[in-house]
């Protein structure tokens, strides 16, 4: 008996998925654990398997279409000659057939083709129309205002005199009869004549003066308006927008900035390189943050309405940039791993993250995150907390600066600025400062990390 094959929820955060590629065609035989399709989720491209033998009778959703989890995407059966017409008819128009083409330009859409969304599903908010008499609808940035979202005046005052002049026709009512006769005789456009009479009325003398003046040079053509391109949001970009918007709106964040002396850190890494260990500054930071989280366990926590959850394990997430967003692979139990192990794990996770091959448990479950933009020439920045974590560390680049040493002498040293974003519901200022002080000790005396 034919049955529906529905879009699975491939990751814990997946709400919709895009069919990236069908690996089987209609009529192909299937066996258990065969991959029928590749689905782009919010973080990776996942392979979708079947668990029973059968035949792929019908593909309901073409490649490139975004489908909510749980919606049918194909029909499976036991044999190729099974009749699935009744099942197909029962679906009606539920399943999309092909990806919708992107619009060439947002400016090309009209209010009737793209109405302002309403806060209630299926109910369009009223947009007032302009009455007669030179008034026009109130707009914001060139777009129609939805009264359900913004409490603003319904109309703006238009240029009433211009509207009246347009209704009467060019030159009518603002030129003296003698001026109109002279303009017809001399072939002069009254609209191009500057009037010197009362309220700008064009007089015969104005027409004669216009004839005596040389013709003005034609104006250069106006430059063409720049064109825009509509780039469809990927599932990853939608997830980033949803999660970080919620974080910025719901988390009462504050920021602590510190400058670390990195002279010993630079020397320590040179020693590791000399010993044949390919360890980056970021790997050392991961280890340092993990040790600091153990030393100050109150910050390795998450907010809950009834209780703060203090995590026993230390899982450090590290932001990795992708072409259409970013992902945060997780170094699990980072406090228990050596620097060389962390370096190997990070290299493997970052490579598979860029290929969109990470499994869900490799980019979820972090208790603390690091975002490092130092390699891109950024000296200092702030990062948005990755919920449900309580902190994230933004790391700027190391650079050589003039410094005053402990003995009062002047010199040049390596310095690095870091900014800790804290969820004030979990971490107070003094507690966040304790964490940074512990991290400073480990970065400025990195030999402690090798112990």
Active site residues: 424
DSSP 370-418: EEE-GGGT---------TTBSEEEEE---EEEEEE-TTS-EEEEEEEEE
SS3 257: strand
429-444 and 263-274 helices cross at what angle (nearest 10)? 50
Residue 85 burial by CB count (10 A; 0-12/13-18/19+): exposed, middle or buried?
A: exposed
CA distance 194 to 67: 63
Question: CA 78 to CA 75: how far, in whole Å?
Answer: 11
| SS3 call for 165 | helix
- Cα separation, 203 vs 245, in Å, equals 63
First to last CA, the chain: 64
User: Within a 10 A sphere around the Cβ of 145, how many other Cβ atoms?
Assistant: 20
CA distances from 299 to 290, 295, 334, 393 (A): 11, 10, 16, 12
* Token duo for residue 156: 């703006």
| Backbone φ and ψ of 287, nearest 5° | -65, -45
Determine contact, residues 416/396, Cβ cutoff 8 Å.
yes
How far is C-alpha 9 from the geometric centre of its chain's CA atoms? 22
Which is it for strands 135-137 and 155-157: parallel, antiparallel or unpaired?
antiparallel
Contact call for residues 136 and 158 (beta carbons, < 8 A)? yes
CB of 427 closer than 8 Å to CB of 299: yes
Structure tokens of 312?
Answer: 């026993």
**Cα pseudo-dihedral 194, 196, 199, 200, rounded to 10:** -10
C-beta of residue 380 within 8 angstroms of C-beta of residue 396: yes
């Amino acid at each position: 008996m034919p049955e529906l094959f529905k879009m699975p929820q491939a990751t814990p955060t997946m709400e919709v998925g895009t069919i990236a590629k069908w690996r089987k065609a209609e009529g192909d035989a299937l066996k258990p654990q065969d991959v029928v399709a590749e689905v782009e989720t919010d973080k990776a491209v996942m392979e979708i398997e079947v668990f029973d033998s059968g035949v792929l009778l019908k593909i309901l959703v073409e490649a490139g279409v975004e489908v909510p989890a749980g919606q049918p995407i194909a029909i499976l059966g036991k044999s190729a000659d099974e009749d699935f017409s009744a099942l197909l008819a029962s679906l009606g128009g539920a399943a999309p057939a092909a990806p919708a083409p992107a619009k060439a330009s947002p400016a090309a859409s009209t209010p009737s083709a793209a109405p302002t969304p309403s806060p209630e599903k299926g109910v369009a908010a009223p947009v007032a129309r302009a009455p007669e008499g030179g008034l026009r609808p109130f707009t914001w940035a060139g777009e129609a205002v939805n009264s359900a979202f913004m409490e603003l005046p319904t109309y703006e005052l238009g240029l009433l005199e211009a509207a009246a002049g347009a209704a009467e026709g060019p030159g009518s009512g603002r030129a003296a009869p003698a001026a109109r006769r002279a303009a017809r005789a001399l072939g002069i456009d009254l609209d191009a004549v500057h009037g010197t009479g009362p309220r700008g009325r064009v007089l015969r003398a104005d027409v004669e003066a216009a004839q005596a003046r040389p013709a003005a040079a034609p104006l250069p053509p106006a430059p063409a308006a720049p064109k825009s391109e509509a780039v469809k949001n990927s599932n990853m970009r939608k997830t980033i927008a949803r999660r970080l918007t919620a974080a910025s709106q719901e988390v009462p964040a504050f920021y602590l900035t510190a400058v670390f002396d990195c002279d010993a850190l630079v020397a320590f890494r040179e020693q590791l390189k000399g010993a044949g260990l390919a360890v980056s500054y970021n790997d050392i930071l991961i280890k340092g943050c993990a040790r600091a989280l153990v030393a100050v366990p109150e910050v390795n926590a998450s907010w809950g309405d009834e209780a703060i959850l203090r995590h026993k394990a230390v899982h450090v997430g590290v932001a990795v940039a992708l072409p259409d967003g970013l992902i945060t692979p997780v170094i699990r139990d980072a406090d228990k791993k050596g620097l060389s192990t962390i370096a190997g794990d990070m290299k493997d996770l970052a490579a598979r993250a860029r290929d969109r091959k990470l499994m869900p448990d490799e980019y979820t479950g972090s208790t603390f995150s690091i975002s490092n933009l130092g390699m891109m020439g950024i000296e200092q920045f702030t990062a948005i907390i990755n919920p449900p974590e309580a902190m994230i560390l933004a790391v700027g680049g190391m650079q050589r600066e003039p410094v005053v040493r402990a003995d009062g002498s002047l010199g040049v040293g390596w310095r690095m600025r870091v900014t800790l974003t804290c969820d004030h519901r979990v971490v107070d200022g003094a507690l966040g400062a304790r964490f940074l002080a512990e991290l400073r000790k480990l970065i400025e005396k990195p030999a402690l990390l090798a112990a």
